[in-house]
Homo-oligomer: A and B are copies of this chain.
Amino acid sequence: MQAWKDYQSQNKDRFLNELLELLRIPSVSAKSEHKADMIRCAEAFKQRLLEAGADTVEIYPTDGHPIVYGEKIIDPSKPTVLVYGHYDVQPAEPLELWTNGPFDPTIVDGKIFARGSCDDKGQVYMHVKALETLVQTNSLSGNIKFCIEGEEEVGSPNLGKFVAQHKELLKADCVLISDSAMISLDTPSIDIGVRGLSYIEVEVTGPNRDLHSGVYGGAVANPITILAKMIASLHDENNHITIPGFYDDVVVATPDERALMAKAPFNENDYAKDLGVQALWGEKGYTTNERTGIRPTLELNGIWGGYTGEGAKTVLPSKAYAKISARLVPNQISKKMTDLLINHFAKIAPPYVTVKASLHHGGEPYMTPIDSVAYQAASKAMETTFGKAPIPVRGGGSIPICALFEKELGIKIVFMGFGLDSDNLHSPNEKYDIANYYKGIETIPYFHHFFAEMNVSI
């Protein structure tokens, strides 16, 4: 559509500057010190949705951070797309590894460096600008609703209740999410699955106080050593996870599925080189893409205990801690897997320490059928703007609320992500290519167009 192209071309600098403004708000949901920033960020999104042409926008308080809901209804009888995204971001630490401030967005080589640039402010804001494009060019062919939450990075603890209580408000024909990656601008792809999550924290207590490691060392269990032994026991020599029952509910991929996955362009040497490692690691019997796509994993996200400052301290600490998360695949159930993890730590705790394992958050794995109208509309939209059809791939990350939307609203979800795996999500120097940002704004109106057309024709 030439009108879209013209409008976007005339407003591209403003589209970019508006995103930079949003990235300046440190909306870190995990840290209570950012509570006010969260509210500021929700207010900013509300304002932008109204400016983009939404009829109504409301901020719904929750027990945690608020949810921004907005809508543009042209005709209730027409197909409706519910856009889901999140305005919260991961903590920015370790701060010393950022080249520029995480909340001081900086453009280098056509890339926007900032926490949240890709995950997910940059991607959710593409949808706001797509709405604006459709409104300003009078070319809306269906209704668009927005549900932008502030707790995705902490496991969406309050979204479930909100969705269950607002089924009519959120009623739609599909959920559209841009919170994932594609292979590249040259090789578009669509995630057809996301992994689930079980995230726990483990606390190991040895002696009731920090001790002098010379006076007591060798006579009382060191909680760091014990924690290390427990962690070490979680993977065997083939990097299979050893927790009894861990793989019980995993749907084994068929040879056909695995053959299809193997067709996605992937070079193991380039992958290792990009990560700066001499050798890759993973579960024996599976390729790298299978390890991150169709297999569950167990990762250490953090560990600490004893003296971690400058210099040396001869302490035998009282406590050691770890943050550990499992990525889940169909048909693993987050609650069941979390219980399995927590019980496993209780079981393997030796008598000379106390082990406390507790839930951080979880989410269910999810698969999108490629024969759904939503997937087909997304595929056709990307084919239109990229010049080639996207490849369906299995993503490694988690969007905990997918299973929830399907259950509560009875609709399918499609993941049209415009990020790249190399965008340093959750890491220092997170970035989002401006070209990808614009490509998303260009593509999304086509999705709405095709989705309305296909739904009407069915």
A interface residues with partner B (beta carbon < 8 Å): 29-32, 90-91, 93-94, 97, 153-155, 181, 195, 197, 199, 201, 206-222, 224-225, 227-229, 231-235, 271, 275-283, 288, 291-292, 295, 297, 299-317, 320-323, 325, 327, 350-354, 360-361, 395-398, 421, 424-429
Contacts and interface: CB of A to CB of B under 8 A. Distances in A.
B427 A208 contact: no
A212 B307 CA distance: 27
Nearest to A206: B277
A232 B234 CA distance: 12
B429 A209 contact: yes
Contacts of A282: 218-220
A277 B221 contact: yes
A361 B313 CA distance: 11
B352 A323 contact: no
B197 A314 contact: yes
Nearest to A353: B277
Interface centre among A91, A207, A292, A427 (most CB of B within 10 A): A427
A190 to B, nearest CB: 16
A11 B398 CA distance: 70
Given A232-B228, A283-B218, A302 B307 contact: yes
Given A31-B311, A214-B396, A313-B90, A219 B301 contact: no
Contacts of A428: 209-210
Taken together, the copies of this chain in the complex come to 2
Nearest to A213: B299
B301 A312 contact: yes
A94 B304 CA distance: 12
Nearest to A287: B219
Contacts of A300: 222, 224-225, 228, 305-306
A30 B313 CA distance: 8
Interface centre among A31, A316, A350 (most CB of B within 10 A): A316
6 contacts: A216-B421, A219-B282, A225-B299, A231-B232, A307-B323, A314-B397
B312 A360 contact: yes
Nearest to A31: B310
Given A213-B299, A217-B292, A292-B219, A312 B229 contact: no
Contact of A229 (B232, B317, B424): B232
Contacts of A322: 224
Given A210-B426, A227-B228, A300-B225, A216 B292 contact: yes
Contact of A219 (B213, B281, B313, B350): B281
B291 A301 contact: no
Interface centre among A232, A309, A313 (most CB of B within 10 A): A313
A310 B29 CA distance: 10
Contacts of A313: 30, 90-91, 93, 153, 301-302, 323, 426
A314 B306 contact: no
B397 A212 contact: yes
Given A217-B325, A218-B295, 4 more contacts: A31-B310, A214-B292, A217-B297, A278-B351
